[in-house]
């Protein structure tokens, strides 16, 4: 897999304030990478630097093998960018808005026409093509923004908070589109603070805090790192006093919590349902239900910052 985006020691300072601190980042072709972190953690600044829209204080960036500072035109022609709270010219129609962008990209009138129709149709906006954008809902604007990007046939798409402010249904649809794009082999980078959404579409995530990328990797790897597993197994079983001890003896189980008279929640390093079932039976218990839950990004996030805070207090 070849490398689409690479940043080395990327730093942005505003006076004394360090917005992004020595960021190293590599994204490979076909990946969906999620940039996570609270507001003000440096996500947008990072994205602007990757696009060459703001000048890094230090470090280097390679996008599609090019330096965005030296070859901004080639980079911008091949990368699609969806800013947070994307705006359009309200008095123009959807088609006219895209036509302007097409002209800026230097497409011929004929090519622009077919690209615009295709992109708007794909985003389900074919019925409102000639309506003024002022009549569009937030979700429609977001889709129009994505249509603009698709019109460019980009190799890399960078999205800043793409689902912010969308209603749950619109957000779900939007994530569905991201998955579709991924299956077409387009590399995607998105930033968000809505963790469960990111978890649903990202192959790999990077966790931002105060300008530093503190954690990076696939969600389950991070879960093992931070939570030491992160799988939750819920067991409903009846048995004698030895049952809880038997459950905690299962290899890979880190903690057993009693959540009710017949209900236990196990923290484990993986999906250990078969082993847990065996343990219940061997301990002479009766098993009613068994459910496993994959590690949760929200929990990783919360736990990580909790740890940070504890460390900070200790120091």
Partner 1 sequence: MLAQRSTSASGDAAAPRREGSPWTGLWAVVSKEMADYLSSTRMLILELITVLTAAGTVFTATAQLRETVGQDRFLFLRLFTTSQEPLPAFVGFLVFLVPIIAIALAFDAVNGEFNARTMSRLLAQPIYRDALLLGKFLASLFTLALVLTTIWLLIAGLGLLRLGVPPGGEETARLLWFLLLTVAYGGVWLALGILASILFRQPATAAMAALATWLFFTVFWGIIAGILAQILRPVRIGLPAELLAQAQLEQALSRLSPNVLYTEATVALLRPEVRSLSFVLPSQLQGAILGAPLPLGESIMLGWPHMVGLIAGTILLFALGYVLFQRQEIRA
What is the binding site for partner 1 (CB under 8 A)? 44-45, 48, 51-55, 67-74, 76-77, 79-81, 83, 85-91, 100-101, 103-106, 145, 148
Q: Which is nearer to partner 1, 55 or 169 (CB)?
A: 55
In angstroms, what CA-CA distances link 232 with 33, 69, 228, 282? 25, 46, 12, 21
Q: Which is nearer to partner 1, 91 or 137 (CB)?
A: 91
* Residue 260 near residue 244, CB atoms below 8 Å: no
H-helix segments, 123-167: 138-151
Which strand ranges, in their side-by-side order, compose the sheet holding 79-82?
79-82, 156-160, 187-192, 32-36, 204-209, 212-217
Residue 12 forms beta bridges with which residues? 20
Q: Which is nearer to partner 1, 5 or 233 (CB)?
A: 5
| Distance of closest approach, residue 61 Cβ to partner 1, in angstroms | 10
Q: Which is nearer to partner 1, 45 or 192 (CB)?
A: 45
| Distance of closest approach, residue 177 Cβ to partner 1, in angstroms | 18
Return d(Cα 69, Cα 61) in angstroms, integer. Answer: 9
Q: Which is nearer to partner 1, 80 or 285 (CB)?
A: 80
Q: Which is nearer to partner 1, 99 or 202 (CB)?
A: 99
Look up residue 227 and give its DSSP letter.
H
Return d(Cα 30, Cα 3) in angstroms, integer. Answer: 10
* Residue 269 near residue 231, CB atoms below 8 Å: yes
| Distance of closest approach, residue 90 Cβ to partner 1, in angstroms | 7
Q: Which is nearer to partner 1, 42 or 270 (CB)?
A: 42
| Distance of closest approach, residue 179 Cβ to partner 1, in angstroms | 23
| Distance of closest approach, residue 265 Cβ to partner 1, in angstroms | 44
Q: Which is nearer to partner 1, 61 or 283 (CB)?
A: 61
**Which secondary structure element, helix H or strand E, spans residue 154, and what is its range?**
none
- Calculated CA dihedral for residues 149, 152, 157, 161, nearest 10 degrees: -10
Tokens of 77: 């022609």
In angstroms, what CA-CA distances link 245 with 58, 156, 239, 249, 287? 55, 52, 11, 6, 15
> C-alpha angle with apex 45: 299 to 12, nearest 5 degrees?
110
| Distance of closest approach, residue 105 Cβ to partner 1, in angstroms | 6
| Distance of closest approach, residue 178 Cβ to partner 1, in angstroms | 18
| Distance of closest approach, residue 78 Cβ to partner 1, in angstroms | 9
> C-alpha angle with apex 64: 183 to 206, nearest 5 degrees?
65
């Amino acid at each position: 897999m070849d490398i689409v985006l690479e940043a080395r020691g990327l730093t942005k300072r505003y006076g004394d304030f360090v917005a992004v601190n020595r960021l190293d980042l590599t994204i490979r072709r076909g990946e969906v990478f999620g940039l996570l972190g609270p507001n003000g953690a440096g996500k947008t600044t990072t994205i602007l630097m990757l696009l060459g829209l703001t000048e890094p204080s230090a470090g280097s960036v390679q996008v599609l093998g090019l330096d965005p500072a030296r070859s901004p035109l080639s980079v911008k022609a091949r990368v699609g960018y969806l800013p947070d709270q994307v705006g359009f010219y309200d008095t123009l129609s959807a088609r006219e808005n895209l036509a302007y962008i097409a002209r800026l990209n230097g497409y011929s009138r004929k090519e622009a026409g077919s690209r615009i129709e295709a992109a708007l149709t794909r985003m389900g906006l074919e019925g409102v093509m000639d309506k003024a954008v002022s009549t569009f809902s937030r979700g429609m604007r977001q889709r129009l923004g994505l249509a603009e990007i698709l019109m460019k046939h980009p190799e890399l798409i960078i999205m800043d908070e793409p689902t912010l402010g969308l209603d749950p249904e619109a957000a779900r649809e939007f994530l569905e589109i991201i998955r579709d794009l991924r299956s077409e082999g387009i590399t995607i980078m998105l930033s968000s603070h809505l963790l469960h959404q990111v978890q649903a579409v990202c192959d790999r995530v990077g966790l931002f805090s105060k300008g530093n990328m503190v954690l990076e990797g696939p969600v389950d790897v991070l879960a093992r790192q931070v939570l030491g597993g992160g799988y939750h197994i819920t067991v409903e079983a009846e048995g004698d006093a030895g049952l809880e001890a038997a459950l905690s003896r299962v290899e890979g189980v880190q903690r057993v919590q009693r959540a009710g008279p017949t209900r236990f929640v196990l923290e484990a390093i993986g999906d250990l349902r078969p082993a847990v079932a065996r343990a219940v039976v061997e301990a002479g218990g009766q098993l009613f239900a068994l459910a496993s839950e994959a590690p949760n990004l929200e929990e990783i996030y919360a736990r990580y910052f909790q740890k940070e805070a504890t460390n900070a207090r200790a120091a």
